[in-house]
Structure 1
Amino acid sequence: MSNDFLRRVDAKIARALSRVRLGFRAVLTALDTTPGVQLLQADGLAGEQLQASEVFQQFGFTSAPPAGSQCIVLPLGGKTAHSVIVATEHGNYRVQALKSGEVCVYNQAGAKITLKQDKVVAIECDKLEVRAKDEIDMTAARIRLRASQRMGLYAPVWDLGGDEDGADCEGVWRGNLHITGTSRADVDHITGGVSLVHHVHPENDGGGPTDEPIGI
């Protein structure tokens, strides 16, 4: 087999491969989130113009990458016109302060949920909304919720206690408390060391102490 023949074969293979577009990078310019699969417009780094390329993401997770995001484009069948987007990234918004093994879900506005080391889950946002159709169950050795302005908790029935029976439980409220409805206690109300159930005081006419209050 002559060298000339081998060169001709190599040349034909090279020409065939040149017509097959390999994966490449692009920069997102516009995004349509209304279809079942998002459609993207982007400019390829080699001058390609992508129109209505499908953006494929993992099941159970969806995001709308902002303009300027970098994309990894995979031309199906080696044709740019049949390209799909398999990954997106934007360096201006990506959370960088992660340790090995940590995971973070974030958005362009800076809200994020970070799964940290030692089984710590950190949520950072300006407003947190939790909505459950039936029940919210929070079980932990210690739960700490902080807000700088207001925390609203709304439900037809509240059940707070050490366990479902309320045994061995003590609650501490720091600050003023304004109750717009009726306050009830199965055992007693004690205010300033004075028991509401066992409270007695001298009669107004100077007689002996009154009887304890009669419950209703």
Structure 2
Amino acid sequence: MMKSVGSRIQKAASQIRQTFLGIVARGDSKALQLKGFTDETLQEVELIQHVGFSSFVPDSAKVVVIPLQGKTAKSVVVATTGGAVVVNVAKGETCVYDQFGHQVLLHQDGIKMTGNVEIVGGLKVSENIESDGEVSDKTGSMQAMREAYNEHKHGNSPTALPLME
């Protein structure tokens, strides 16, 4: 009798799909097409992401698939890894990055951004601003301002001293 009960439990459990790893066949930010075991293909699997964070999952990324209620047809993706670009972080660091190589790295000494940055809205800085490149506004560059100042005269007077560097 115990063997019969055990057999029935095992048969029922074998019909419940367990969490598995898949590979993205077609990426997106909301629903994915996945390759599962052997020749299995899952269509329009919902991608669950944290509120306030949205990313486009690239093809060939690895994903964690959870079949809700044990049914493959009700699967969701809850984690992804292994895109073409992967950033390795050190202990305590956090990095947000994309597949184009842009990144915001939060590390022990501050924040490092890689890529062009566009700010929509104001920017208030409480300490010094340094640049290894040109600084410009809608009218011109600071270098052009220096050159205009250093060359200017008032009538027969000499050029301004000290020169702006």
SS of equivalent to 1:113 = strand
Which amino acid in 1 is paired with 2:79? A
SS of equivalent to 1:11 = helix
SS of equivalent to 1:51 = strand
Who wins on radius of gyration, i.e. which is larger? 1
Task: Say how many residue pairs are matched.
Answer: 152
| More helix, by proportion | 2
Residue matched to 1:121: 111
Greater RCO structure (CA 8 Å; 6+ sep) = 2
SS of equivalent to 2:85 = coil
- 8 Å Cα contact 2:28/2:58 also seen in 1: no
Select which of 107, 123, 142 maps to 1:136: 123
Aligned counterparts of 1:151 and 1:42: Cα–Cα separation in 2: 47
Do residues 191 (structure 1) and 164 (structure 2) align?
no
Aligned counterparts of 2:124 and 2:138: Cα–Cα separation in 1: 14
SS of equivalent to 1:59 = coil
Shift in alpha-carbon separation, 1:137–1:193, aligned structure 2, 3 A:
closer
- 8 Å Cα contact 1:74/1:84 also seen in 2: yes
Aligned counterparts of 1:102 and 1:32: Cα–Cα separation in 2: 27
Give structure 2 stretches of 5+ with no counterpart: 149-158
SS of equivalent to 2:119 = coil
Which amino acid in 2 is paired with 1:144? E
**What is the TM-score when the length of structure 1 is the normalising length?**
0.63
Aligned counterparts of 2:111 and 2:28: Cα–Cα separation in 1: 32
1:170-185 mapped onto 2 (5 Å cutoff): 177=146
What is the Cα deviation at residue 121 of structure 1? Answer: 0.2
Residue matched to 1:72: 64
Which amino acid in 2 is paired with 1:72? V
Do residues 87 (structure 1) and 79 (structure 2) align?
yes
What is the Cα deviation at residue 49 of structure 1? Answer: 1.4
**What is the TM-score when the length of structure 2 is the normalising length?**
0.80
| More strand, by proportion | 2
Aligned counterparts of 2:135 and 2:117: Cα–Cα separation in 1: 9
Select which of 27, 30, 41 maps to 2:33: 41
1:140-187 Cα deviation digits (max 9, x unpaired): 2x333344xx555449xxxxxxxxxxxxxxxxx7786356xxxxxxxx
Which amino acid in 1 is paired with 2:123? I
Q: Compute the RMSD of aligned alpha carbons.
A: 2.6
- 8 Å Cα contact 1:27/1:45 also seen in 2: no
Aligned counterparts of 2:135 and 2:162: Cα–Cα separation in 1: 30
**Which 4+ runs in 1 deviate beyond 2 A?**
45-48, 142-147, 150-155, 173-179
Percent identity over the alignment is 30
1:15-54 mapped onto 2 (5 Å cutoff): 15-33=11-29, 38-54=30-46
- 8 Å Cα contact 1:72/1:88 also seen in 2: yes
What is the Cα deviation at residue 39 of structure 1? Answer: 1.0
SS of equivalent to 1:191 = coil
SS of equivalent to 1:14 = helix
Give structure 1 stretches of 5+ with no counterpart: 156-172, 180-189, 195-216
